Amino acid sequence: MSSMDTDKSSSEIRQQVVDAVARLPHLPGVYRYFDAQDQVLYVGKARDLKKRVTSYFQKTLSSPRIAMMVEKIVRLETTVTRSEAEALILENNLIKALRPRYNILFRDDKSYPYLKITSEKTPRMTYYRGAVDKKHQYFGPFPSGWAVKESMQILQKIFLLRSCEDSVFANRTRPCLLHQIQRCSGPCVDLISPEDYQQDVRNAADFLRGRQLEVMQNLEKKMLGFSSELRFEQAAMVRNQMSALSKVLHQQSMETTGNADLDVIAVIVEGGRACVNLAMIRGGRHLGDRAYFPSHVDDVRAVSDDTIEAEVVAAFLAQHYVDQFIPSTLVMNVALDAPDLMLVLAEQCGHKIHLSFQPQEQRRVWLEMAVKGAELALARLLSEQGSQQARTRAMATALELETENIDLLRIECFDISHTQGEATQASCVVYHHHAMQNSEYRRYNIKDITPGDDYAAMRQVLTRRYEKVNGEDPAALTMPDVVLIDGGKGQVEIARQVFVELGLDTSLIVGVSKGEGRKVGLETLVFVDGREEKELGKESAALMLIAHIRDEAHRFAITGMRAKRDKARQTSQLEEIEGVGPKRRQRLLVRFGGLKGVSDASVEELASVEGISRQLAEEIYKRLR
């Protein structure tokens, strides 16, 4: 194709995009930009789709990077929503799913833990993670499980609340060890009246809400009441509670500021990376902090007129709080002018959100601590990143790879695992951006081969993984720079045959032949393209990384194989018993907690399961012995 034809094609594409923009409605929604490879470039939300998207196609843009992104746009998609709040939620769901290059991305972390006080007749406190409801009381969220457990220890020490399971509580005939060490008031055996226990529960809840002074006054009033009634033993117990509470309040005196619930957010950007350190304050108590490291920060510099710090914190607020608890106050070290975003978040949570950029007194101390934590976390990340880059570079040198950007080096490693031919599984693990990419790991169930035939298993997994590379959608299956095979010459030859059949470059294949006892340092690298085998030695950074990737593939394969094998074994023995179909098998496994429980059950216990007759119970009992 001539340059004139190319220009004409580019101009036609640009005109099609401009025409599509002209047809957009003046409605709220979400827009998505795509490049020539149909990869998503950017996802954004807008109160007015037409105005917002049109601003990207003006003659003068606010930054070179926006211009660079716009030049790559060949197609756009939009979704109209009923409100900007809906657009915010959809935008961040799409960002998490599509991971666009020009969006700042925060890892979709697991949910935060809570401290839960149940609504039972004799409430208990417990560690909880998941969706909250209105039936029980939930306190948090906490930044870590450790913070929850620390708070539970405080409640046990001061208010002596129970933490035992209901099944244990209902069957106690004497107090447990926690009562003996003065960490539980013994409601299971009526060592405390239901009324007094409920008061302790209320005091504990008030303490977690930051009403420590009210709790102390209630305890003092209770102690004086016991004294006036000459119930000196009970008065002494309350006095001990007050003493324990006083110690806790003294230890946390520098933290308490009434019943404040707020989040402290510190943002630091350095060396092309950013750190957002989130400190949680609940009930005036500092519960700890957690550091987040967004990706694509360097690619999105100056996508707007804000500073990179402001862009990072805006992305954090949108992605983090879209499905999390939002306190009424956010203290930050970066000034943020985002009224639309804050309005949407307030609409979602149902209360006003106050932003504080120049806090005073204790809040200032908290912010300084959060900033220092962010600085230390980012420095540690950059140090580790430098070490990781050095390892990747050493491996690229050892494998004689010619790669322009070491950061983009991608390695896929395969391993086969089975138990004497049973439950054969293959694994594929991925090393990219100087780290193992767990979300891209894949397992393959191997079928229709002779049990124990590792060569056939390797042929099947490689064929399934790479047969679509030259198909209609090559972008969906990008080839790695190196394909590591956990095995020697035999496995490598199978890989070579598969690549030849699929028309792929065989020089990508590298075999890792195990040393004696799989000891690191004794491996041999086997090549397909005529290069001699290579032994790197125990001190080689490249070999350490290759061995790490190989061992991760082995671990991932063997855990999958064991799970598959155990599942097959668990059901196979029951499946062989006539009269035990899927429903009865499921009822048995649920009732007794697995095949071992079924095997240990008596005939009478088996017959008590719905659908299991006495005759069938005797048959199951006999067959599983």
Identify the three-state secondary structure at position 141: coil
CATH code of 531's domain: 3.30.420.340
Clarify whether residues 72 and 161 are in a common domain: no
The pLDDT value recorded for residue 38 is 85
How far apart (Å, rounded) are the C-alpha atoms in residues 122 and 172?
A: 14
How far apart (Å, rounded) are the C-alpha atoms in residues 491 and 512?
A: 10
pLDDT band for 565, please (50, 70, 90 cuts). Answer: low
Q: What is the average per-residue pLDDT within 418-441?
A: 81
Clarify whether residues 548 and 602 are in a common domain: no
Clarify whether residues 436 and 526 are in a common domain: yes
Q: Residue 162 in contact with residue 147, Cβ under 8 Å?
A: no
Determine, yes or no, domain membership for 600.
yes
Q: Residue 394 in contact with residue 541, Cβ under 8 Å?
A: yes
Determine, yes or no, domain membership for 401.
no
Determine, yes or no, domain membership for 400.
no
Mean pLDDT, the chain, rounded, equals 80
The pLDDT value recorded for residue 452 is 77
Clarify whether residues 583 and 561 are in a common domain: no
> In a 10 Å sphere around its CB, with 0-12 CB exposed, 13-18 middle and 19+ buried, how is residue 355 labelled?
middle
Determine, yes or no, domain membership for 167.
yes
Clarify whether residues 414 and 471 are in a common domain: yes
Q: What is the average per-residue pLDDT within 480-486?
A: 91
Clarify whether residues 294 and 367 are in a common domain: yes
Q: In the predicted model, is pLDDT for residue 570 greater than 60? A: no
Q: What is the average per-residue pLDDT within 168-180?
A: 86
Determine, yes or no, domain membership for 397.
no
Cross-strand partners of 478: none
CATH code of 65's domain: 3.40.1440.10
Q: In the predicted model, is pLDDT for residue 495 greater than 50? A: yes
Q: In the predicted model, is pLDDT for residue 213 greater than 60? A: yes
pLDDT band for 277, please (50, 70, 90 cuts). Answer: very high
The pLDDT value recorded for residue 448 is 83
Domain span at residue 357?
A: 263-275+290-379
429: enclosing H helix or E strand:
strand 422-432
Determine, yes or no, domain membership for 398.
no
The pLDDT value recorded for residue 2 is 39
The pLDDT value recorded for residue 66 is 74
CB within 8 Å of 504: residues ≥ 6 apart: 466, 469, 470, 479
Give the least confident one: 6-10, 161-165, 488-492.
6-10
Degrees, nearest 5: CA angle 490-493-497: 145
Q: In the predicted model, is pLDDT for residue 130 greater than 50? A: yes
Identify the three-state secondary structure at position 1: coil
Cross-strand partners of 430: 412
> In a 10 Å sphere around its CB, with 0-12 CB exposed, 13-18 middle and 19+ buried, how is residue 407 labelled?
exposed
Give the least confident one: 7-16, 128-137, 363-372, 542-551.
7-16
The pLDDT value recorded for residue 496 is 93
Clarify whether residues 431 and 546 are in a common domain: yes
Clarify whether residues 413 and 301 are in a common domain: no
> What is the total count of domains within the chain?
5
Determine, yes or no, domain membership for 106.
no
The pLDDT value recorded for residue 498 is 92
Q: Higher pLDDT residue, 253 or 37?
A: 37
Q: What is the average per-residue pLDDT within 72-76?
A: 88
Q: Residue 143 in contact with residue 285, Cβ under 8 Å?
A: no
The pLDDT value recorded for residue 532 is 85
Clarify whether residues 87 and 127 are in a common domain: no
Chosen domain end from 565, 588, 603: 565
Determine, yes or no, domain membership for 570.
no
Clarify whether residues 559 and 592 are in a common domain: no
Cross-strand partners of 114: 128
The pLDDT value recorded for residue 484 is 92
Identify the three-state secondary structure at position 372: helix
How far apart (Å, rounded) are the C-alpha atoms in residues 560 and 558?
A: 5
The pLDDT value recorded for residue 7 is 47
Clarify whether residues 152 and 84 are in a common domain: no
Q: In the predicted model, is pLDDT for residue 611 greater than 70? A: yes
Chosen domain end from 344, 379, 414: 379
How far apart (Å, rounded) are the C-alpha atoms in residues 392 and 396?
A: 6
Clarify whether residues 416 and 540 are in a common domain: yes
Counting Cα atoms < 13 Å in the Cβ hemisphere of 48 gives: 7
The pLDDT value recorded for residue 56 is 85
The pLDDT value recorded for residue 259 is 56
